[in-house]
Amino acid sequence: MVRVIGAAVGDVAYAVVLGTALGIGACLLISLAPRWGAPSLARRIAPYIRDITDARGLDVSAAGLGATALTWSAFAERRLARLAGGDAALERRLHRAAWSIDPARFRGRQLAWAIAGLAAGGVAVIALVLAGRGSPALGLLPPVAAVTAALAYDTWLTRAGRARAARIEEELPTVLEFLALCLSAGEGILDSLRRVSEVGAGELTGELRGVVVAVGTGSPLSESLTRLAAGLEIPALTRAVDQLVAAIERGAPLAHVLQAQALDAREDAKRALIERAGRKEIFMLFPLVFLILPLSVLFAVFPGIFMLRLGLG
């Protein structure tokens, strides 16, 4: 019975391989047909309205399989973004991680990762079946691999956002002190932000550079700072920006406000460092309890047990 099931699974594996090859070949042949491979109307008229069209859509040479693949890729990105829910939270996560892609492109890449995981799982199943180790449970391997790949790409974004937020938190006290120093020297708040953004080279100074550019294009300073804090979602930065915006609106001395916020940020950094050290200390107990202590007990007890057995013999 087991041999019959193994032979049936092997036949199914061969059928999957041959069917996949046949499907890819058929798709390639269809894409080369004149009706499917012809450029679209937008690509045909784009060179004649070059001054009002997007520069990315002027390439009329990308016809055939490339144009079809791009069209289906954009369609898949939109569908996946619609099925995954709203893009506002994802857009904030992308901004927090400083990834220069839109939510639809992220969903498209996540879909590509899932397809790659599905293909890798299918290849692994076929290899195991051909090696004679097939079982019905292997049918779960491709979907599990696809879901794992999609979650891995999302986890990558989360880790990148957390790492960048940690770097911004480390830079925050220094940047606030530099701003307070510039304000104490007689500069205005916008000139201080411009000076810090030009001199600095960190993550937070890059965000301040974007605030200066936004103010230069007509956006209010308070609104730009609030948008910055809302996009990064860092408690220390949000608190500092709220105090700074309140001081700007009420006419309070900005230098003292920034110095107080810098002191609070350093205290928060010390508190976070102490908490991290406490967690690391707890983690260090695991090898002590589960590795070193059992070995010590074994070395202390085993000679006595051996001597007792030797005496009883």
**Residue 33 gets which letter from DSSP?**
S
Helix extents (H) in the chain: 2-31, 34-37, 41-45, 65-83, 88-97, 103-130, 141-184, 189-199, 203-216, 221-232, 235-250, 254-287, 293-312
- Cβ count within 10 A of residue 135: 13
For the chain, domain boundaries: 1-37
Residue 59's pLDDT is 45
- Cβ count within 10 A of residue 8: 11
Tokens read off for 93: 């996560």
Q: Which residues contact 239 (CB under 8 A, 6 or more apart)?
A: 261, 264
Tell which residue, 180, 171, 158, has the closest CA to residue 269: 171
Residue 203's pLDDT is 87
CA dist 290 → 253, 285, 302 (Å): 57, 8, 18
Helix, strand, coil tally for the chain in percent (to 5): 85, 0, 15
List, as one string, the DSSP characters of 180-202.
HHHHHTT--HHHHHHHHHHH--S
Residue 33's pLDDT is 64
Q: Rounded to an integer, what distance in angstroms lies between the CA atom of residue 72 and that of residue 81?
A: 14
CA dist 94 → 75, 104, 129 (Å): 21, 11, 41
Q: Rounded to an integer, what distance in angstroms lies between the CA atom of residue 127 and that of residue 140?
A: 15
Residue 10's pLDDT is 64
CA dist 191 → 16, 106, 259 (Å): 66, 36, 17
Tell which residue, 65, 36, 67, has the closest CA to residue 57: 67
Which residue do the tokens 């990558």 mark?
Answer: 156
Q: How many CA atoms lie within 13 A of 83 on its CB side?
A: 10
Q: Rounded to an integer, what distance in angstroms lies between the CA atom of residue 211 and that of residue 225?
A: 7
Q: Which residues contact 37 (CB under 8 A, 6 or more apart)?
A: 31, 63, 64, 65, 67, 68
Task: Provide the residue type at 218 as one letter.
Answer: G
The answer to whether 4 touches 132, Cβ cutoff 8 Å, is no
Tokens read off for 284: 């260090």
Would you give per-residue pLDDT tens digits along the chain (313 residues)? 555 555 665 676 667 777 887 888 887 777 666 555 566 677 777 777 755 544 444 444 444 444 444 455 555 555 555 555 557 788 888 888 888 888 888 888 999 999 999 899 888 888 888 887 777 777 788 889 999 999 999 999 999 999 999 899 888 888 888 888 888 888 888 888 888 888 878 888 888 888 989 888 888 888 989 888 888 888 888 888 888 888 888 887 888 888 888 888 888 888 888 888 888 888 888 888 888 888 888 888 888 787 777 775 4
Burial of residue 87, with CB atoms counted within 10 A of its CB: 0-12 exposed, 13-18 middle, 19 or more buried: middle
Q: Can you tell me whether residue 127 is helix, strand or coil?
A: helix
